[in-house]
Structure 1
Amino acid sequence: MGKIHVHEFITLDGSFENPAFTMPYGFTDRMGEVLGGITGSCDGILLGRNTFEMFGPAWSERSVDDDPGAPFFNDTTKYVVSSTLDEATGWQNSEVVGGYDPDKIRELKSSHDLYISGSGTLVRALLRDRLVDELHLLVYPVVLGSGARLFDGLADLPLTLVGTESFDNGVVHLSYASTA
């Protein structure tokens, strides 16, 4: 049985919608190591349509010289959850699995360790349906007061804190495991 590993860049007030808030803080080498540790055990990427459409142009032209994460993002199979796309074009190794269906996700999870970044609507549905095994929040020391919030609409979501790490730029990594 595989796992679903979620990684999100998030503000103190839970906003994740526009990751531009991360820019003033930079991206430390240690943050890259942490994300590499999360992706290292994964053999599939699960994405919602919006994130797929944003990530595809950003990652498809990158090489390992541009970013050490490029081989993972480009070579790994991307499973796109979308009820509006018929095919996933423009980024190698991508396929549409259809609209959100928890049973389809369980089937994928049964044979793959899946990584998710962004994809807030999808992540909320997965959290609601207790399909997330690991939730990795990189919390930035900023309050935006606007934007979509990761936990909007969720209630009674028991999680167990399994790790914390603070980085030199003020960002904190909080790792949670699902208790469901």
Structure 2
Amino acid sequence: MGAIVVHEFIALDGVFEDPSWTFEYGFDPKMGETLGAITAESKAILLGRTTFEMFAPAWSTRAAEDDPGAPFFNDTMKYVVGAREPQVEWANSTRLGPYDPNVIRKLKDDTDGSIYISGSGTLVRALLADGLVDNLHLFVYPIALGKGKRLWRDGVDATKLALVRCEVYDNGVVHLDYGPAAA
């Protein structure tokens, strides 16, 4: 049975929208090692339609010489959740249709290894609400943006998590790896 592993870049106030604000902090090589370890365990990628449409043109033209993550993103099977058909093509991709927790549970059952998610905030919110996230890797940047979409919206039920490990990088980013809280 597979595990859903989420990776998000977020600000101190929970904003994850349009992570271009992360660029000024640079990319610490140790962050790359952490993300490489996360993706190395992954056998599939699960994305919301909007993130899929952003990732496809960015990754599909890259090779390993351009970015060491390119083979993972291009060669790994990708599953897309969304009510609408994606407006772009990308090799090794299958559309799952609108969000359905039972379809995601079946994908987990049928996958031998981790299922990686990056971005895809609407999808991640639904997965968290349905208790389907096994690891939540938050890369928290030392900035409060004050506006933008937040990972947790106002009015949602509390989400209890258990800290698995944490790291602090030289650029001020903190990596928090959470799993489900013990019942």
Which 5+ residue runs of structure 1 have no aligned equivalent?
A: none
| Paired letter, 2:70 | A
TM-score normalised to the size of structure 2?
0.95
Instruction: Tell me, in whole angstroms, the C-alpha distance in 2 between the residues paired with 1:175 and 1:111.
Output: 24
Q: Which residue number in structure 1 is paired with residue 105 of structure 2?
A: 106
1:126 equivalent to 2:140? Answer: no
Measured after TM superposition, the shift of residue 89 of structure 1 is: 4.2
Residue aligned with 1:131, SS: coil
Q: Which residue number in structure 1 is paired with residue 79 of structure 2?
A: 79
Measured after TM superposition, the shift of residue 154 of structure 1 is: 2.9
Instruction: Tell me, in whole angstroms, the C-alpha distance in 2 between the residues paired with 1:49 and 1:68.
Output: 24
Query: What is the identity percentage for the equivalent residue pairs of Structure 1 and Structure 2?
Result: 60
TM-score normalised to the size of structure 1?
0.96
Instruction: Tell me, in whole angstroms, the C-alpha distance in 2 between the residues paired with 1:163 and 1:59.
Output: 29
Measured after TM superposition, the shift of residue 158 of structure 1 is: 1.1
Measured after TM superposition, the shift of residue 28 of structure 1 is: 1.5
Instruction: Tell me, in whole angstroms, the C-alpha distance in 1 between the residues paired with 2:46 and 2:134.
Output: 14
Instruction: Tell me, in whole angstroms, the C-alpha distance in 1 between the residues paired with 2:81 and 2:178.
Output: 24
Residue aligned with 1:43, SS: strand
Measured after TM superposition, the shift of residue 90 of structure 1 is: 2.1
Q: Which residue number in structure 1 is paired with residue 94 of structure 2?
A: 95
Q: Contact 2:166/2:176 (CA < 8 Å) preserved in 1?
A: yes
Q: Which residue number in structure 2 is paired with residue 151 of structure 1?
A: 152
- CA-based RMSD of the aligned residues comes to 1.2
1:25 equivalent to 2:25? Answer: yes
Spell out structure 1 runs of 4+ moving beyond 3 A.
Answer: none
Q: Contact 1:124/1:154 (CA < 8 Å) preserved in 2?
A: no
Instruction: Tell me, in whole angstroms, the C-alpha distance in 1 between the residues paired with 2:88 and 2:21.
Output: 29
